[in-house]
């Protein structure tokens, strides 16, 4: 079996979704998103700068997918729980209210990522575990 054939056998990508709770605290859920789905987004942008928000609590500025290309990070949410984001795990940032989340680089010195902002009423396609 070729690597192309192997790639076609997996129908989902691992994902973690940041969410707001009723009191605007931030939490997360683990799950997946289906591959080969259209996302209703009008643009994307890349970013490597980590100096402005590393270690500082903040909500997502908008609902968006965050695709890590390089780096390994530990994210923390309001109640102190943590999770790891690295290449191969899609982050869906839906925590647009309250204190938000924090993150820190735990492996490497850079966080290369692509942001795909979601249109206002677009489903994020997330399926919880």
At residue 38, the pLDDT reads: 86
- Burial of 53-72, coded b for 16+ CB within 10 Å and e otherwise, reads eeeeeebbeebbbbbbeebe
Position 5 scores a pLDDT of 46
In a domain, 100, yes or no: yes
Residues 6+ apart with CB under 8 A from 56: 102
Within a domain: 31: yes
Question: Could you tell me the pTM of the whole model?
Answer: 0.88
| CB-based contacts of 119, cutoff 8 Å, min separation 6 | 40, 41, 42
**Domain extent for 34:** 10-128
Q: Which residue has the tokens 């997360």?
A: 28
* pLDDT in the model for residue 126: 96
Domain total of the chain: 1
Give the domain CATH number at 55. Answer: 2.60.120.10
Write down the pLDDT at residue 53.
82
pLDDT block averages, 10 residues each, the chain of length 129: 53 96 96 90 84 88 95 95 97 96 93 92 93
Residue 4 is predicted with a pLDDT of 46
- Residue 32 inside a domain? The answer is yes
What local confidence, expressed as pLDDT, does residue 9 receive? 58
In a domain, residue 4? The reply is no
């Amino acid at each position: 079996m070729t690597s192309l054939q192997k790639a076609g056998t997996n129908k989902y990508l691992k994902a973690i979704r940041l969410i707001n709770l009723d009191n605007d605290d931030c939490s997360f859920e683990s799950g997946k998103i289906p591959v080969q789905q259209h996302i209703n987004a009008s643009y994307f942008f890349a970013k490597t700068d980590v100096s402005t928000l590393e270690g500082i609590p903040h909500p997502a500025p908008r609902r968006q997918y965050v695709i890590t290309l390089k780096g390994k990070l530990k994210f923390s949410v309001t109640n102190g729980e943590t999770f790891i984001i690295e290449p191969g795990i899609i982050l869906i940032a839906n925590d647009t209210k309250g204190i938000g989340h924090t993150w820190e680089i735990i492996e490497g010195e850079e966080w290369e990522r692509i942001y795909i902002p979601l249109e206002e009423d677009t489903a994020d396609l997330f399926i919880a575990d």
